[in-house]
Amino acid sequence: MGRYTIRRLLQLIPVLLGTTFLINYMVWQLPGDPFAGRCGQRPCPDSYVSAMRAQFGLDQPILLQYWQFLKNMLSGNLGVDFNQVPVVTQLADAWPITIRLALLAVAIEAVIGISAGVLSGLKRGGFIDNVVTISTLFLLSLPVFVTGFLLQWLLGVQFQIITPTVSDEAPIMELIVPAFVLASLNMAFTARLTRTSIVENRRSDYVRTAIAKGLTNRRVVGVHLLRNSLIPVLTFLGTEVGSLMSGAIITEGIFNIHGIGGLLYRAITGQDYTIVVPIASLLVLVYLVSNLLVDLLYGVLDPRIRYE
Amino acid sequence: MSDPSVTQDLIHGGEGPAASVVSSSNRPRSLWQDTWDILRHRKIFWISFIMLILFLLMAAFPSLFTHKNPDYATLAKSMDPPSGEAWFGYDLQGRDVFARTIYGARTSIIVGVLATLVTVILGGVAGVLAAYYARWVDSILSRIGEIFLGVPYVLGAIIILGTVAPAQSSPDRVTIMAVVIIVLAVLGWPILMRIARSSVIQAKHQDYVQAARALGAGPFRIIFKHLLPNSLAPILVYSTITIGSYIGAEATLSLLGIGLREPVISWGIAIADHTSYIRTGAHAMLFPAAFLSLCVLTFVMLGEAVRDALDPKLR
């Protein structure tokens, strides 16, 4: 286990280097002028452009820029944006909100998705199964922003149950609907995964043994069946934590939440790439690390899986 | 499913799915024949199939559904609600929402299908090469795939599109569609590579491939005749569902202002244009959103029907 962990950590390094290089390359080297719209209607004066290019090292070759970026990241220096505001302070404001939103979304996914999946998997072909199958199909085909605008319009404008946009402090109560929207797609996946897993395991020998031993239905399902069936579901939920954070860009935009997604989106539309690169790299790191943790968790949850 | 024997089976009325398992005929039944037998008894397949035909007709001949010009604007009618004259009402510029929704189908379907095609080609070639040559080719391609998978989808698309075609720029119709298609495919190919790779690896050590090699077949023949057909089923299922999700992704990017934009007519743009008018005229946004969701639903439903029919576990 220990050796496996170390090997996976070592494997993480080239992927992380490659991904961050890709981000750096895409942001700085693809055609497009970062200073095109920064000075209002007129083009920026040459002195400003050359000063900025010198400050952010844009006149250097890409590999040198990347080396500088790595050195800054490793020393915890995220730099300043084009308006000379430190990226760290912006990140510190936005990070807690997005974490709250993502965790709430995972909780909603887990509770609703797993219970719907278990209920439909236990009575395959029954009424609940059909309802769950059809509603997950609908959830899967609704793009996140459609769900978002629809709920915002229905609950916020028509019935006025919620405020259509979230305030700056983003308390938990106001985040419930956005978190539901963020979770909607994965909720459907979770329900389906749980269902398939339950259906498969119901036919297994250990479940038959448990029933033959005369255990109550409650114990067979709750202890024997559920524990084994939830392994793939948990791993799915884990891997999705990372992608939820970047998926939050759209949800945060719709509900005007000042989290990482909103920050990133404003930075990209404002072409302030110095914020984009460190935040995107950070999101990738979260994504890769959560994938790694899930792989390790897999071995803990399922003793049949042995690493070496 | 272009297998001619399938159509012959249809004409002569093939056996039902139950009979197919213990088929009395001597001719061995292919996977596709079994699949078709199951499919044609499934309601969900026919529903999605009819919807698919409708959407394809809409994309190919929009004038069959509406005689109005989608670009003709009457500002006096701006944001008028649905009426007998204009079923879906008018948008902000006073253009007919119904006509624009019908014409929007073409863009969405072209982007979805072409992006999936590029994804399949990129991912399929990489997957087959990685599996067939194994060793360092496999390691390199897999690592590159991991790097691209490491960039979350929305994030990657926003970064590339935000740099290549920022919201302030106004590229022409073909350019922006091509850029969106390439971006979707570039970020999506690693998943397809994994599917193709694993199914080719499974088939690679089978006796019939060894036999073909022993008979002197070259790598080209082995790959195309013996290995590729094995990965066809999972690739087909995945790409049908992918068309749906790419259509949704295109709309999402258009919504963010960095995907398609005027003068292209698309559902995503229609939704994006009217998000700020949700209080006064939700119709201009809800109708395109409904069509978008229905179109995604069609492809997802079709993909799932085919997958259920192909997957022996669920039979």
Condensed to tens digits (0 to 9), the pLDDT of residues A119-154 reads: 888 887 788 888 888 888 888 888 888 888 888 888
Dig out the tokens for B23 from the structure: 């088929």
Contacts of A140 in chain B (CB under 8 A): 300
Contact list, B158 vs chain A (CB under 8 Å): 249, 264-265, 268
Q: From chain A, pick out residues whose CB is under 8 angstroms from the CB of B251.
A: 143, 145
Give one DSSP letter per residue of A102-164, joined into a string: HHHHHHHIIIIIHHHHHHHHHTTTSHHHHHHHHHHHHHHHS-HHHHHHHHIIIIIIIS--S-S
Helix B4-11 vs helix B31-39: crossing angle, to nearest 10: 50
Spell out the per-residue pLDDT of chain B, length 315, in tens.
334 444 334 334 334 444 444 445 566 777 777 778 888 888 888 888 999 999 899 888 888 777 777 777 777 777 777 777 777 777 777 788 788 888 888 888 999 999 999 999 999 888 888 888 878 888 888 888 888 887 777 778 887 887 777 766 777 778 888 888 999 998 888 888 888 888 888 777 778 888 888 888 888 888 887 777 777 878 888 888 888 888 888 888 888 777 787 778 888 888 888 877 777 777 878 888 888 888 888 888 888 888 878 765 554
d(CA A233, CA A188): 12
Q: Between chains, do B252 and A145 touch, taking CB under 8 Å as contact?
A: yes
Q: How far is A213 from chain B (nearest CA, A)?
A: 28
pTM: 0.79
A33 φ/ψ angles, rounded to the nearest 5 degrees:
-100, 115
B297 and A CB contact within 8 Å: yes
Closest CA to B270 of B280, B81, A140, B283: B283
Determine the pLDDT at residue B116. Answer: 93
B14 half-sphere exposure, CB direction, 13 A CA radius: 25
Q: Report ipTM for this prediction.
A: 0.75
The verdict on a CB contact (< 8 Å) between A140 and B300 is yes
Q: Can you tell me the distance from the alpha carbon of B42 to that of A1, in angstroms, rounded to the nearest whole number?
A: 47
- The residues, any chain, with a CB within 8 Å of residue B197's CB and separated by 6 or more, are B126, B127, B128, B130, B131, B138, B142
**B296: nearest CA partner in chain A:** A141
pLDDT at B8: 38
Distances B199 to B194, B222, B241 between C-alpha atoms, Å? 9, 14, 18
Q: Residue range A98-115: average pLDDT? A: 89
User: Out of B144, B156, B297, whose CB is closest to A138?
Assistant: B297
Closest partner residue to A146 (CB to CB) among B150, B156, B292 is B292
Distance, in angstroms, between B140 CA and closest chain A CA?
11
Burial class (CB in 10 A: 0-12, 13-18, 19+), B6: middle
Distance from CA of A34 to the nearest CA of B (A): 8
Contact A271 B162 (CB under 8 A): yes
**Preferred mutation among A149, A240, A292 to probe B, highest tally of B CBs within 10 A:** A149
- Residue A150 near chain B (CB below 8 Å): yes
Q: Using the beta-carbon criterion (under 8 Å), do A269 and B166 form an inter-chain contact?
A: yes
Residue A165: the pLDDT is: 77
Specify the pLDDT at position B26.
64
